[in-house]
Amino acid sequence: MKKIDSKIVILGLGNILLSDEGIGIKVIYDLKNNYIFPKNVEIIDGGVGGFSLLPLIEKAEKLLVIDAVLGNNLPGTIYKFKDKDIPYQIIEKISLHEINFCEILNLAKLRKKYPEEVVIIGIEPEKIETSLELSETLKAKYSEFFKAILLQLEEWGIRPVPKKDHHHLEALFFVEKP
């Protein structure tokens, strides 16, 4: 039986100081600033949190993770990993963070506090360098990436309502060069 008010955690990962590596955080701020969510949805900037993310993961019934993902494909490639597709034991990290996020998920599983459902939506970065600005490729793919996130939420019965003073991410994060 499907629970109507499952605790849903939307967790953005990344470092906004490293161009495309920060896309997960930029999406989180886009969601927080521009949409209204039901009370059972928590939107979290996980930064590059490592083990501090464990309690956030363990309290979720459904977990949506948004991040840059190294999948050795073309920049801008969008990935979606669901439960059994998540590579829990990998040699090369799929995320760009020092502590592999999949290892944190595995730890939650070992502690028997794993969410009922986990989905990771990621995008292949083009550049990882000191910059607040996303690459041109990720700017061009942002709407498609954002839509994939909204579609996943809709699959879980969550339809965020745009705020009246809705501002697209471009106005907040896409830095114009002089």
Mean pLDDT of the region 122-138: 93
Q: What is the pLDDT of residues 59-76, one digit of tens each?
A: 999 999 999 988 889 999
CA distances from 67 to 3, 5, 111, 113, 166 (A): 27, 25, 24, 22, 23
User: What is the model's pTM?
Assistant: 0.85
Task: State how far the Cα of 19 lies from the Cα of 49, in Å rounded to an integer.
Answer: 18
Q: pLDDT for 6-59, tens place per residue?
A: 899 999 999 989 899 999 999 999 999 999 999 999 999 998 777 889 999 999
> Does 115 have pLDDT greater than 60?
yes
Q: Considering only residues 1 and 27, tell me which one the structure prediction assigns the higher pLDDT.
A: 27
Residue 34: half-sphere exposure toward Cβ, Cα within 13 Å: 15
The residues, ordered by sequence, that sit 6+ positions from 16 with a Cβ below 8 Å of its Cβ are 22, 25, 26, 132, 173
Q: Which amino acid is at 64?
A: L
Locus of tokens 């829990």: 88
Domains of the chain, each with CATH number or no CATH: 8-173 (3.40.50.1450)
Q: Is 91 a residue whose pLDDT tops 60?
A: no
- Band of residue 166 on the pLDDT scale cut at 50, 70, 90: low
CA distance 169 to 56: 25
